[in-house]
Chain A
Amino acid sequence: MIDWFLDTFGSVGQRVLQSVRRLGYAARFFLLTLAKSGTSFARFGLVVKEIYAAGVLSLVIILVSGLFVGMVLGFQGYNTLARYGSESALGVLVALSLVRELGPVVSALLFAGRAGSAMTAEIGLMKATEQLVAMDMMAVDPVARVVAPRLWGGILSMPLLSAMFSAVGVFGGYLVGVVLIGVDEGSFWSQMQAAVDFREDIVNGVIKSVVFGVAVTAIAVFEGYDAPPTAEGVSRATTRTVVTSSLVILGLDFIMTAFMFRG
Protein backbone atom coordinates (compact mmCIF):
# COMPACT_ATOMS: atom_id res chain seq x y z
CA MET A 1 0.00 0.00 0.00
CA ILE A 2 2.77 2.41 0.98
CA ASP A 3 4.75 1.38 -2.13
CA TRP A 4 1.76 2.06 -4.34
CA PHE A 5 1.28 5.46 -2.70
CA LEU A 6 4.95 6.34 -3.15
CA ASP A 7 4.92 5.21 -6.79
CA THR A 8 1.82 7.26 -7.57
CA PHE A 9 3.18 10.27 -5.70
CA GLY A 10 6.52 9.92 -7.52
CA SER A 11 4.95 9.64 -10.94
CA VAL A 12 2.72 12.69 -10.30
CA GLY A 13 5.81 14.58 -9.16
CA GLN A 14 7.67 13.56 -12.33
CA ARG A 15 4.83 14.80 -14.50
CA VAL A 16 4.66 18.11 -12.66
CA LEU A 17 8.42 18.57 -13.02
CA GLN A 18 8.21 17.74 -16.73
CA SER A 19 5.38 20.22 -17.23
CA VAL A 20 7.23 23.00 -15.40
CA ARG A 21 10.40 22.28 -17.40
CA ARG A 22 8.44 22.41 -20.65
CA LEU A 23 6.74 25.63 -19.60
CA GLY A 24 10.14 27.16 -18.89
CA TYR A 25 11.44 25.97 -22.25
CA ALA A 26 8.39 27.44 -23.99
CA ALA A 27 8.85 30.77 -22.19
CA ARG A 28 12.53 30.84 -23.21
CA PHE A 29 11.59 30.04 -26.80
CA PHE A 30 9.02 32.88 -26.78
CA LEU A 31 11.58 35.38 -25.51
CA LEU A 32 14.14 34.12 -28.04
CA THR A 33 11.60 34.61 -30.83
CA LEU A 34 10.89 38.17 -29.65
CA ALA A 35 14.63 38.87 -29.52
CA LYS A 36 15.03 37.59 -33.07
CA SER A 37 12.11 39.58 -34.47
CA GLY A 38 14.33 42.18 -36.10
CA THR A 39 14.18 40.41 -39.47
CA SER A 40 10.37 40.45 -39.35
CA PHE A 41 10.30 44.24 -39.14
CA ALA A 42 13.24 44.86 -41.46
CA ARG A 43 11.51 42.67 -44.08
CA PHE A 44 7.88 43.34 -43.28
CA GLY A 45 6.82 41.46 -46.40
CA LEU A 46 7.49 38.22 -44.48
CA VAL A 47 4.94 39.28 -41.83
CA VAL A 48 2.43 40.41 -44.48
CA LYS A 49 2.63 36.95 -46.05
CA GLU A 50 1.82 35.40 -42.67
CA ILE A 51 -1.03 37.86 -42.06
CA TYR A 52 -2.48 36.60 -45.33
CA ALA A 53 -2.01 32.94 -44.30
CA ALA A 54 -3.27 33.33 -40.73
CA GLY A 55 -5.67 36.25 -41.07
CA VAL A 56 -7.09 36.51 -44.57
CA LEU A 57 -7.52 32.77 -44.97
CA SER A 58 -9.38 32.65 -41.63
CA LEU A 59 -11.86 35.33 -42.72
CA VAL A 60 -14.53 32.99 -44.03
CA ILE A 61 -14.85 30.95 -40.84
CA ILE A 62 -14.65 34.09 -38.67
CA LEU A 63 -17.27 36.04 -40.63
CA VAL A 64 -19.72 33.15 -41.01
CA SER A 65 -19.39 32.23 -37.32
CA GLY A 66 -19.76 35.87 -36.29
CA LEU A 67 -22.95 36.20 -38.32
CA PHE A 68 -24.50 33.08 -36.79
CA VAL A 69 -23.45 33.95 -33.23
CA GLY A 70 -24.95 37.43 -33.69
CA MET A 71 -28.19 35.99 -35.06
CA VAL A 72 -28.48 33.52 -32.16
CA LEU A 73 -27.85 36.40 -29.74
CA GLY A 74 -30.65 38.28 -31.50
CA PHE A 75 -33.12 35.45 -30.91
CA GLN A 76 -32.05 34.63 -27.35
CA GLY A 77 -31.70 38.27 -26.34
CA TYR A 78 -35.11 39.18 -27.69
CA ASN A 79 -36.68 36.21 -25.96
CA THR A 80 -35.25 37.20 -22.58
CA LEU A 81 -35.68 40.96 -22.89
CA ALA A 82 -39.29 40.65 -24.09
CA ARG A 83 -40.22 39.14 -20.71
CA TYR A 84 -39.30 42.45 -19.08
CA GLY A 85 -40.60 44.64 -21.88
CA SER A 86 -37.08 45.77 -22.75
CA GLU A 87 -36.83 44.60 -26.37
CA SER A 88 -35.48 48.00 -27.35
CA ALA A 89 -32.28 47.16 -25.41
CA LEU A 90 -31.54 44.28 -27.79
CA GLY A 91 -28.84 46.29 -29.58
CA VAL A 92 -27.05 46.92 -26.27
CA LEU A 93 -27.17 43.26 -25.31
CA VAL A 94 -25.88 42.07 -28.67
CA ALA A 95 -23.12 44.68 -28.89
CA LEU A 96 -21.83 44.33 -25.33
CA SER A 97 -21.90 40.53 -25.45
CA LEU A 98 -19.90 40.55 -28.67
CA VAL A 99 -17.44 43.36 -28.01
CA ARG A 100 -16.61 42.39 -24.42
CA GLU A 101 -16.71 38.60 -24.55
CA LEU A 102 -17.88 36.60 -27.51
CA GLY A 103 -15.96 38.53 -30.16
CA PRO A 104 -12.49 38.09 -28.65
CA VAL A 105 -13.11 34.63 -27.15
CA VAL A 106 -14.93 32.86 -29.99
CA SER A 107 -12.75 34.38 -32.70
CA ALA A 108 -9.64 33.31 -30.73
CA LEU A 109 -11.00 29.76 -30.38
CA LEU A 110 -11.72 29.65 -34.11
CA PHE A 111 -8.33 31.18 -34.86
CA ALA A 112 -6.63 28.47 -32.78
CA GLY A 113 -8.48 25.77 -34.70
CA ARG A 114 -7.94 27.27 -38.16
CA ALA A 115 -4.66 29.21 -38.17
CA GLY A 116 -2.93 27.90 -35.01
CA SER A 117 -3.18 24.28 -36.05
CA ALA A 118 -1.99 25.17 -39.57
CA MET A 119 1.06 26.99 -38.15
CA THR A 120 1.98 24.05 -35.94
CA ALA A 121 1.58 21.55 -38.75
CA GLU A 122 3.57 23.67 -41.20
CA ILE A 123 6.50 24.29 -38.85
CA GLY A 124 6.40 20.68 -37.62
CA LEU A 125 6.50 19.36 -41.18
CA MET A 126 9.31 21.73 -42.09
CA LYS A 127 11.21 20.23 -39.18
CA ALA A 128 10.32 16.64 -40.09
CA THR A 129 11.45 17.14 -43.70
CA GLU A 130 14.70 18.80 -42.56
CA GLN A 131 13.81 22.17 -44.13
CA LEU A 132 14.67 23.93 -40.86
CA VAL A 133 18.03 22.13 -40.67
CA ALA A 134 18.71 23.04 -44.30
CA MET A 135 17.94 26.68 -43.52
CA ASP A 136 20.17 26.62 -40.45
CA MET A 137 23.00 25.10 -42.49
CA MET A 138 22.54 27.90 -45.04
CA ALA A 139 23.32 30.32 -42.20
CA VAL A 140 19.70 31.50 -42.03
CA ASP A 141 18.26 31.38 -38.52
CA PRO A 142 14.96 29.45 -38.70
CA VAL A 143 13.63 31.18 -35.58
CA ALA A 144 14.14 34.61 -37.16
CA ARG A 145 13.09 33.58 -40.69
CA VAL A 146 10.23 31.12 -40.06
CA VAL A 147 8.97 31.46 -36.47
CA ALA A 148 9.09 35.21 -35.77
CA PRO A 149 7.14 36.33 -38.88
CA ARG A 150 4.43 33.80 -38.07
CA LEU A 151 4.26 35.00 -34.47
CA TRP A 152 3.83 38.62 -35.53
CA GLY A 153 1.47 37.70 -38.35
CA GLY A 154 -0.76 35.97 -35.78
CA ILE A 155 -0.50 38.76 -33.21
CA LEU A 156 -1.48 41.40 -35.77
CA SER A 157 -4.26 39.32 -37.34
CA MET A 158 -6.11 38.38 -34.15
CA PRO A 159 -7.50 41.82 -33.10
CA LEU A 160 -8.58 42.52 -36.68
CA LEU A 161 -10.37 39.19 -36.93
CA SER A 162 -11.98 39.76 -33.55
CA ALA A 163 -13.21 43.22 -34.62
CA MET A 164 -14.67 41.76 -37.81
CA PHE A 165 -16.33 38.96 -35.85
CA SER A 166 -17.99 41.51 -33.55
CA ALA A 167 -19.05 43.79 -36.42
CA VAL A 168 -20.62 40.96 -38.39
CA GLY A 169 -22.18 39.63 -35.17
CA VAL A 170 -23.87 42.98 -34.52
CA PHE A 171 -25.15 42.88 -38.08
CA GLY A 172 -26.48 39.34 -37.45
CA GLY A 173 -28.28 40.60 -34.31
CA TYR A 174 -29.73 43.47 -36.37
CA LEU A 175 -30.95 41.09 -39.06
CA VAL A 176 -32.82 38.92 -36.57
CA GLY A 177 -33.92 41.62 -34.10
CA VAL A 178 -34.90 44.44 -36.45
CA VAL A 179 -35.48 42.89 -39.88
CA LEU A 180 -36.98 39.55 -38.82
CA ILE A 181 -38.68 40.21 -35.45
CA GLY A 182 -39.40 43.90 -35.86
CA VAL A 183 -37.62 45.61 -32.96
CA ASP A 184 -37.52 49.37 -33.49
CA GLU A 185 -34.47 50.20 -35.60
CA GLY A 186 -33.91 53.60 -34.01
CA SER A 187 -33.80 52.32 -30.45
CA PHE A 188 -31.68 49.33 -31.51
CA TRP A 189 -28.89 51.58 -32.78
CA SER A 190 -29.29 54.58 -30.46
CA GLN A 191 -29.30 52.54 -27.25
CA MET A 192 -26.28 50.64 -28.50
CA GLN A 193 -24.49 53.90 -29.25
CA ALA A 194 -25.31 55.28 -25.82
CA ALA A 195 -24.41 52.18 -23.82
CA VAL A 196 -21.22 50.97 -25.46
CA ASP A 197 -18.27 52.85 -23.99
CA PHE A 198 -15.15 53.12 -26.13
CA ARG A 199 -12.61 52.82 -23.32
CA GLU A 200 -14.48 50.43 -21.09
CA ASP A 201 -15.83 48.07 -23.73
CA ILE A 202 -14.08 48.44 -27.08
CA VAL A 203 -10.52 48.96 -25.77
CA ASN A 204 -10.87 46.15 -23.22
CA GLY A 205 -12.13 43.88 -25.98
CA VAL A 206 -9.18 44.79 -28.17
CA ILE A 207 -6.76 44.17 -25.26
CA LYS A 208 -8.29 40.72 -24.80
CA SER A 209 -7.95 39.87 -28.47
CA VAL A 210 -4.30 41.00 -28.52
CA VAL A 211 -3.53 38.84 -25.47
CA PHE A 212 -5.31 35.87 -27.07
CA GLY A 213 -3.40 36.48 -30.31
CA VAL A 214 -0.07 36.38 -28.48
CA ALA A 215 -1.07 33.26 -26.51
CA VAL A 216 -2.46 31.25 -29.43
CA THR A 217 0.34 32.08 -31.85
CA ALA A 218 3.09 31.56 -29.27
CA ILE A 219 1.64 28.14 -28.42
CA ALA A 220 1.25 27.24 -32.11
CA VAL A 221 4.79 28.13 -33.17
CA PHE A 222 6.33 26.52 -30.08
CA GLU A 223 4.43 23.27 -30.54
CA GLY A 224 5.46 23.16 -34.20
CA TYR A 225 9.11 23.88 -33.49
CA ASP A 226 9.21 21.41 -30.61
CA ALA A 227 7.30 18.63 -32.40
CA PRO A 228 9.07 15.27 -32.74
CA PRO A 229 10.00 15.02 -36.45
CA THR A 230 7.58 12.20 -37.25
CA ALA A 231 4.05 12.03 -38.67
CA GLU A 232 2.73 11.05 -35.24
CA GLY A 233 4.75 13.80 -33.53
CA VAL A 234 3.35 16.51 -35.83
CA SER A 235 -0.17 15.17 -35.44
CA ARG A 236 0.08 15.23 -31.64
CA ALA A 237 1.61 18.69 -31.64
CA THR A 238 -1.27 19.98 -33.78
CA THR A 239 -3.80 18.51 -31.37
CA ARG A 240 -1.92 19.98 -28.40
CA THR A 241 -2.01 23.42 -30.03
CA VAL A 242 -5.79 23.40 -30.29
CA VAL A 243 -6.39 21.93 -26.83
CA THR A 244 -3.83 24.07 -24.97
CA SER A 245 -4.81 27.25 -26.82
CA SER A 246 -8.50 26.73 -26.06
CA LEU A 247 -7.87 26.19 -22.35
CA VAL A 248 -5.45 29.12 -22.16
CA ILE A 249 -7.94 31.42 -23.94
CA LEU A 250 -10.72 30.55 -21.49
CA GLY A 251 -8.41 30.85 -18.46
CA LEU A 252 -6.98 34.18 -19.58
CA ASP A 253 -10.45 35.45 -20.40
CA PHE A 254 -11.61 34.74 -16.85
CA ILE A 255 -8.57 36.51 -15.36
CA MET A 256 -8.85 39.55 -17.64
CA THR A 257 -12.61 39.83 -17.17
CA ALA A 258 -12.11 39.75 -13.41
CA PHE A 259 -9.68 42.67 -13.65
CA MET A 260 -11.49 44.68 -16.33
CA PHE A 261 -15.13 44.42 -15.33
CA ARG A 262 -15.14 43.77 -11.60
CA GLY A 263 -17.29 46.84 -11.14
Chain B
Amino acid sequence: MSPLVELTDVAFAYGERPVLSGINMAIPRGKVVAIMGGSGSGKTTLLRLIGGQLRPQAGQVKVADRVVSELRSGDLYRFRRRLGMLLQFGALFTDLSVFDNVAFPLREHTRLPESLIRDLVLMKLHAVGLRGARQLMPAELSGGMARRVALARAVALDPMLILYDEPFTGLDPISLAVIGNLIRRLNDALGATSIVVTHDVHESLAIVDDIYFVSEGRVVAHGTAAQMSDSALPFVRQFVHGEMDGPVPFQYAAPPYGEDLRLGRP
Protein backbone atom coordinates (compact mmCIF):
# COMPACT_ATOMS: atom_id res chain seq x y z
CA MET B 1 0.00 0.00 0.00
CA SER B 2 1.40 3.41 -0.96
CA PRO B 3 2.13 5.84 1.89
CA LEU B 4 -0.54 8.45 2.59
CA VAL B 5 1.96 11.29 2.76
CA GLU B 6 5.12 11.35 0.71
CA LEU B 7 7.75 14.10 0.60
CA THR B 8 10.38 13.84 -2.11
CA ASP B 9 13.51 16.03 -2.10
CA VAL B 10 11.57 18.92 -0.59
CA ALA B 11 13.35 22.23 -0.17
CA PHE B 12 11.93 25.42 1.25
CA ALA B 13 13.28 28.84 2.19
CA TYR B 14 11.74 31.93 3.76
CA GLY B 15 13.14 34.57 1.43
CA GLU B 16 16.91 34.11 1.44
CA ARG B 17 16.89 31.91 4.57
CA PRO B 18 16.80 28.19 3.75
CA VAL B 19 14.68 26.17 6.19
CA LEU B 20 14.41 22.73 4.60
CA SER B 21 16.57 20.98 2.04
CA GLY B 22 16.41 17.51 0.51
CA ILE B 23 13.65 16.24 2.83
CA ASN B 24 12.37 12.75 2.07
CA MET B 25 9.60 11.19 4.13
CA ALA B 26 6.99 8.50 3.71
CA ILE B 27 4.14 8.40 6.22
CA PRO B 28 2.26 5.08 6.06
CA ARG B 29 -1.53 4.94 6.30
CA GLY B 30 -3.01 4.32 9.72
CA LYS B 31 0.14 5.22 11.65
CA VAL B 32 0.93 7.93 14.16
CA VAL B 33 4.22 9.51 13.14
CA ALA B 34 6.17 12.12 15.07
CA ILE B 35 8.42 14.75 13.53
CA MET B 36 10.86 15.87 16.17
CA GLY B 37 13.61 18.41 16.34
CA GLY B 38 14.71 21.54 18.15
CA SER B 39 13.09 24.96 17.86
CA GLY B 40 13.60 26.47 14.42
CA SER B 41 14.50 23.15 12.81
CA GLY B 42 11.67 23.42 10.24
CA LYS B 43 9.11 21.05 11.80
CA THR B 44 6.14 23.39 11.61
CA THR B 45 7.15 24.41 8.08
CA LEU B 46 6.93 20.73 7.12
CA LEU B 47 3.40 20.58 8.52
CA ARG B 48 2.43 23.70 6.56
CA LEU B 49 3.81 22.19 3.38
CA ILE B 50 1.73 19.04 3.94
CA GLY B 51 -1.38 21.14 4.62
CA GLY B 52 -0.82 23.23 1.48
CA GLN B 53 -0.31 26.52 3.32
CA LEU B 54 3.18 26.76 1.83
CA ARG B 55 4.58 25.55 -1.49
CA PRO B 56 8.01 23.95 -1.70
CA GLN B 57 10.65 25.62 -3.87
CA ALA B 58 11.89 22.19 -4.96
CA GLY B 59 10.62 18.63 -4.71
CA GLN B 60 7.03 17.60 -4.14
CA VAL B 61 4.60 16.85 -1.32
CA LYS B 62 2.04 14.17 -2.13
CA VAL B 63 -0.97 13.37 0.03
CA ALA B 64 -3.25 10.51 -1.01
CA ASP B 65 -1.40 10.36 -4.35
CA ARG B 66 -2.08 14.02 -5.17
CA VAL B 67 0.64 16.68 -5.35
CA VAL B 68 -0.51 19.28 -2.82
CA SER B 69 1.39 22.22 -4.34
CA GLU B 70 -0.32 21.66 -7.70
CA LEU B 71 -3.84 21.89 -6.29
CA ARG B 72 -5.78 24.98 -7.30
CA SER B 73 -7.68 26.96 -4.66
CA GLY B 74 -10.98 25.02 -4.98
CA ASP B 75 -9.24 21.62 -5.04
CA LEU B 76 -7.05 22.62 -2.11
CA TYR B 77 -10.12 23.43 -0.03
CA ARG B 78 -11.75 20.13 -1.05
CA PHE B 79 -8.53 18.37 0.00
CA ARG B 80 -8.50 20.19 3.34
CA ARG B 81 -12.00 18.95 4.14
CA ARG B 82 -10.39 15.54 4.57
CA LEU B 83 -7.73 17.01 6.83
CA GLY B 84 -7.87 17.85 10.53
CA MET B 85 -5.37 20.16 12.17
CA LEU B 86 -4.70 20.90 15.81
CA LEU B 87 -2.76 24.12 16.19
CA GLN B 88 -0.35 24.81 19.02
CA PHE B 89 -2.77 26.47 21.43
CA GLY B 90 -5.99 25.14 19.95
CA ALA B 91 -6.97 28.34 18.09
CA LEU B 92 -10.59 28.06 19.20
CA PHE B 93 -12.93 30.77 17.92
CA THR B 94 -13.23 32.97 20.96
CA ASP B 95 -16.71 34.29 20.11
CA LEU B 96 -18.20 30.79 19.87
CA SER B 97 -19.04 28.34 22.66
CA VAL B 98 -17.38 24.92 22.91
CA PHE B 99 -20.40 23.37 21.19
CA ASP B 100 -20.40 25.90 18.34
CA ASN B 101 -16.65 25.53 17.84
CA VAL B 102 -17.01 21.79 17.26
CA ALA B 103 -20.13 22.32 15.16
CA PHE B 104 -18.35 24.93 12.99
CA PRO B 105 -16.88 22.59 10.31
CA LEU B 106 -20.10 20.55 10.21
CA ARG B 107 -22.23 23.65 9.65
CA GLU B 108 -19.82 25.04 7.06
CA HIS B 109 -19.37 21.89 4.99
CA THR B 110 -22.51 19.81 5.39
CA ARG B 111 -26.22 20.36 5.09
CA LEU B 112 -27.03 18.11 8.01
CA PRO B 113 -30.09 19.03 10.07
CA GLU B 114 -29.31 20.79 13.35
CA SER B 115 -30.57 17.82 15.38
CA LEU B 116 -28.01 15.53 13.73
CA ILE B 117 -25.24 18.11 14.11
CA ARG B 118 -26.09 18.27 17.81
CA ASP B 119 -25.70 14.51 18.18
CA LEU B 120 -22.43 14.44 16.22
CA VAL B 121 -20.97 17.30 18.25
CA LEU B 122 -21.91 15.61 21.52
CA MET B 123 -20.30 12.37 20.31
CA LYS B 124 -17.06 14.18 19.45
CA LEU B 125 -17.09 16.04 22.75
CA HIS B 126 -17.78 12.80 24.60
CA ALA B 127 -14.75 11.24 22.89
CA VAL B 128 -12.52 13.96 24.37
CA GLY B 129 -14.32 13.86 27.73
CA LEU B 130 -15.89 17.31 27.50
CA ARG B 131 -19.55 16.64 26.72
CA GLY B 132 -20.42 18.42 29.96
CA ALA B 133 -18.49 21.54 28.94
CA ARG B 134 -20.49 22.21 25.78
CA GLN B 135 -21.92 25.55 27.00
CA LEU B 136 -18.60 27.01 28.14
CA MET B 137 -16.79 29.73 26.22
CA PRO B 138 -13.09 29.28 25.28
CA ALA B 139 -12.05 31.88 27.89
CA GLU B 140 -13.50 29.60 30.60
CA LEU B 141 -11.36 26.58 29.61
CA SER B 142 -7.95 25.52 30.88
CA GLY B 143 -5.13 25.02 28.34
CA GLY B 144 -5.63 21.25 28.33
CA MET B 145 -9.41 21.55 27.91
CA ALA B 146 -9.02 24.02 25.05
CA ARG B 147 -6.66 21.60 23.31
CA ARG B 148 -9.21 18.77 23.74
CA VAL B 149 -12.03 20.90 22.30
CA ALA B 150 -9.78 21.81 19.37
CA LEU B 151 -9.07 18.12 18.91
CA ALA B 152 -12.80 17.36 18.82
CA ARG B 153 -13.20 20.13 16.23
CA ALA B 154 -10.27 18.78 14.17
CA VAL B 155 -11.89 15.35 13.91
CA ALA B 156 -15.45 16.63 13.45
CA LEU B 157 -15.50 15.64 9.76
CA ASP B 158 -13.73 12.28 10.33
CA PRO B 159 -10.53 13.28 8.47
CA MET B 160 -8.17 10.85 6.74
CA LEU B 161 -5.14 12.79 7.99
CA ILE B 162 -4.72 14.68 11.27
CA LEU B 163 -1.88 17.16 11.72
CA TYR B 164 -0.78 18.17 15.22
CA ASP B 165 1.41 21.25 15.69
CA GLU B 166 3.10 21.03 19.09
CA PRO B 167 0.06 19.55 20.86
CA PHE B 168 1.87 19.11 24.20
CA THR B 169 3.23 22.63 24.67
CA GLY B 170 2.48 24.19 28.03
CA LEU B 171 0.38 21.35 29.45
CA ASP B 172 0.51 19.89 32.95
CA PRO B 173 1.46 16.17 33.20
CA ILE B 174 -2.15 14.98 33.45
CA SER B 175 -3.38 17.02 30.47
CA LEU B 176 -0.28 15.94 28.56
CA ALA B 177 -1.05 12.26 29.12
CA VAL B 178 -4.73 12.83 28.22
CA ILE B 179 -3.87 14.57 24.92
CA GLY B 180 -1.26 11.92 24.06
CA ASN B 181 -3.77 9.16 24.73
CA LEU B 182 -6.47 10.89 22.69
CA ILE B 183 -4.15 11.31 19.71
CA ARG B 184 -3.52 7.57 19.66
CA ARG B 185 -7.10 6.50 20.38
CA LEU B 186 -8.75 8.87 17.92
CA ASN B 187 -6.32 7.89 15.19
CA ASP B 188 -7.09 4.20 15.67
CA ALA B 189 -10.83 4.71 16.10
CA LEU B 190 -11.14 6.83 12.94
CA GLY B 191 -8.73 4.72 10.89
CA ALA B 192 -6.86 7.95 10.18
CA THR B 193 -3.18 8.80 9.85
CA SER B 194 -1.59 11.30 12.24
CA ILE B 195 1.51 13.47 12.02
CA VAL B 196 2.62 14.98 15.32
CA VAL B 197 5.15 17.79 15.26
CA THR B 198 6.63 18.00 18.73
CA HIS B 199 9.73 18.18 20.86
CA ASP B 200 8.17 16.34 23.77
CA VAL B 201 10.22 13.13 23.70
CA HIS B 202 8.72 11.02 26.46
CA GLU B 203 5.05 11.51 25.57
CA SER B 204 5.79 10.91 21.89
CA LEU B 205 7.79 7.73 22.44
CA ALA B 206 4.79 6.31 24.29
CA ILE B 207 2.19 6.91 21.59
CA VAL B 208 3.79 7.07 18.13
CA ASP B 209 4.73 4.32 15.69
CA ASP B 210 7.53 6.09 13.81
CA ILE B 211 9.71 9.10 14.44
CA TYR B 212 11.57 11.42 12.06
CA PHE B 213 14.26 13.59 13.58
CA VAL B 214 14.85 16.89 11.78
CA SER B 215 17.83 19.11 12.36
CA GLU B 216 18.98 22.15 10.38
CA GLY B 217 16.40 21.47 7.70
CA ARG B 218 17.33 17.82 7.09
CA VAL B 219 16.08 14.44 8.25
CA VAL B 220 18.91 13.15 10.44
CA ALA B 221 17.29 9.97 11.73
CA HIS B 222 14.21 7.86 11.17
CA GLY B 223 12.88 4.71 12.77
CA THR B 224 10.35 3.21 15.11
CA ALA B 225 9.89 4.66 18.57
CA ALA B 226 11.81 1.73 20.11
CA GLN B 227 14.71 2.09 17.64
CA MET B 228 14.98 5.81 18.29
CA SER B 229 14.81 5.30 22.03
CA ASP B 230 17.87 3.02 21.90
CA SER B 231 19.64 4.86 19.06
CA ALA B 232 23.36 5.48 19.36
CA LEU B 233 23.28 8.37 16.87
CA PRO B 234 24.75 11.37 18.74
CA PHE B 235 21.96 13.82 17.78
CA VAL B 236 19.16 11.38 18.64
CA ARG B 237 20.83 10.40 21.90
CA GLN B 238 21.29 14.02 22.92
CA PHE B 239 17.67 14.83 22.03
CA VAL B 240 16.06 11.74 23.59
CA HIS B 241 18.06 11.92 26.81
CA GLY B 242 18.12 15.71 27.00
CA GLU B 243 21.91 15.95 27.23
CA MET B 244 23.29 19.47 27.60
CA ASP B 245 26.12 19.15 25.12
CA GLY B 246 26.53 17.20 21.91
CA PRO B 247 25.95 17.88 18.22
CA VAL B 248 23.74 20.74 19.40
CA PRO B 249 26.38 22.67 21.39
CA PHE B 250 25.65 24.23 24.75
CA GLN B 251 27.77 27.26 23.90
CA TYR B 252 26.68 29.65 21.18
CA ALA B 253 29.56 30.19 18.72
CA ALA B 254 32.04 32.56 20.36
CA PRO B 255 35.76 33.41 20.31
CA PRO B 256 37.97 31.31 22.65
CA TYR B 257 37.03 31.83 26.32
CA GLY B 258 40.56 32.74 27.42
CA GLU B 259 40.86 35.29 24.65
CA ASP B 260 37.53 36.87 25.63
CA LEU B 261 38.64 37.18 29.26
CA ARG B 262 42.03 38.54 28.11
CA LEU B 263 43.88 35.88 30.11
CA GLY B 264 47.66 35.83 29.78
CA ARG B 265 47.81 39.50 28.85
CA PRO B 266 49.77 41.93 31.00
The answer for the CA separation of A134 and B79 in the assembled complex, in Å, is 15
Q: Which residues in chain A, 136-186, are within 8 Å of chain B measured between CB atoms?
A: 136-141, 145
| Contact (Cβ within 8 A) B51 A137 | yes
CB distance from B47 to the nearest CB of A (A): 10
| Contact (Cβ within 8 A) A130 B91 | yes
CB distance from B205 to the nearest CB of A (A): 27
CB distance from B137 to the nearest CB of A (A): 14
CB distance from A207 to the nearest CB of B (A): 33
Query: A14 an interface residue at 8 Å Cβ cutoff?
Result: no
The answer for the CA separation of A118 and B129 in the assembled complex, in Å, is 35
Q: Chain A: which residue is nearest B105 at the CB level?
A: A138
The answer for the CA separation of A135 and B101 in the assembled complex, in Å, is 11
| Contact (Cβ within 8 A) A131 B108 | no
Query: A133 an interface residue at 8 Å Cβ cutoff?
Result: yes
Q: Which residues in chain B, 43-102, are within 8 Å of chain A measured between CB atoms?
A: 51, 53, 77-81, 83, 85, 87-89, 91-94
| Contact (Cβ within 8 A) B108 A134 | no
Q: Which residues in chain A, 48-66, are within 8 Å of chain B measured between CB atoms?
A: none
| Contact (Cβ within 8 A) A133 B53 | yes
Query: A129 an interface residue at 8 Å Cβ cutoff?
Result: yes
Interface size class of B (residues with CB under 8 A): 20 to 34
CB distance from B78 to the nearest CB of A (A): 7
Query: B111 an interface residue at 8 Å Cβ cutoff?
Result: no
Q: A129-B94, A131-B94, A133-B53 are in contact. Are A139 and B109 (CB under 8 A)?
A: yes
| Contact (Cβ within 8 A) A130 B88 | yes
| Contact (Cβ within 8 A) B87 A133 | yes
The answer for the CA separation of A160 and B79 in the assembled complex, in Å, is 42
Q: A129-B94, A131-B94, A133-B53 are in contact. Are A139 and B87 (CB under 8 A)?
A: no
Among A130, A131, A133, A141, which residue has its beta carbon within 8 angstroms of that of B77? A141
CB distance from B98 to the nearest CB of A (A): 15
Q: What B residues does A135 contact at CB under 8 A?
A: 93
Q: What A residues does B78 contact at CB under 8 A?
A: 139
The answer for the CA separation of A135 and B85 in the assembled complex, in Å, is 10
The answer for the CA separation of A139 and B85 in the assembled complex, in Å, is 11
The answer for the CA separation of A136 and B73 in the assembled complex, in Å, is 11
CB distance from A196 to the nearest CB of B (A): 42
The answer for the CA separation of A190 and B260 in the assembled complex, in Å, is 89
Q: Chain B: which residue is nearest A134 at the CB level?
A: B91
| Contact (Cβ within 8 A) A139 B81 | yes
The answer for the CA separation of A137 and B157 in the assembled complex, in Å, is 13
Contact with B along A86-106 (1 / 0, CB 8 A): 000000000000000000000
| Contact (Cβ within 8 A) A136 B53 | yes
**Interface-central residue, B53, B83, B88, B108, by most chain A CB under 10 Å:** B108
Q: A138-B105, A139-B78, A140-B108 are in contact. Are A131 and B93 (CB under 8 A)?
A: yes
| Contact (Cβ within 8 A) A139 B80 | yes
**Interface-central residue, A130, A131, A137, A140, by most chain B CB under 10 Å:** A137
Q: What A residues does B88 contact at CB under 8 A?
A: 130
The answer for the CA separation of A145 and B51 in the assembled complex, in Å, is 20
Among A129, A131, A137, A141, which residue has its beta carbon within 8 angstroms of that of B53? A137
Q: Chain B: which residue is nearest A132 at the CB level?
A: B91
The answer for the CA separation of A131 and B105 in the assembled complex, in Å, is 13
The answer for the CA separation of A141 and B77 in the assembled complex, in Å, is 8
Among B53, B89, B92, B104, which residue has its beta carbon within 8 angstroms of that of A138? B104
Q: What B residues does A140 contact at CB under 8 A?
A: 104-105, 108-109
A: residues with CB less than 8 A from B are: 129-131, 133-141, 145
B: residues with CB less than 8 A from A are: 51, 53, 77-81, 83, 85, 87-89, 91-94, 104-105, 108-109, 150, 153, 163
Given A130-B87, A140-B109: 16 more A-B contacts, CB < 8 Å: A130-B88, A131-B94, A134-B85, A136-B53, A137-B51, A137-B85, A137-B87, A137-B163, A138-B80, A138-B85, A138-B105, A139-B78, A139-B83, A139-B108, A140-B108, A145-B108
Report, nearest first, the 6 A-B pairs whose CB atoms are least far apart: A134-B91, A139-B80, A130-B91, A139-B77, A137-B85, A139-B81
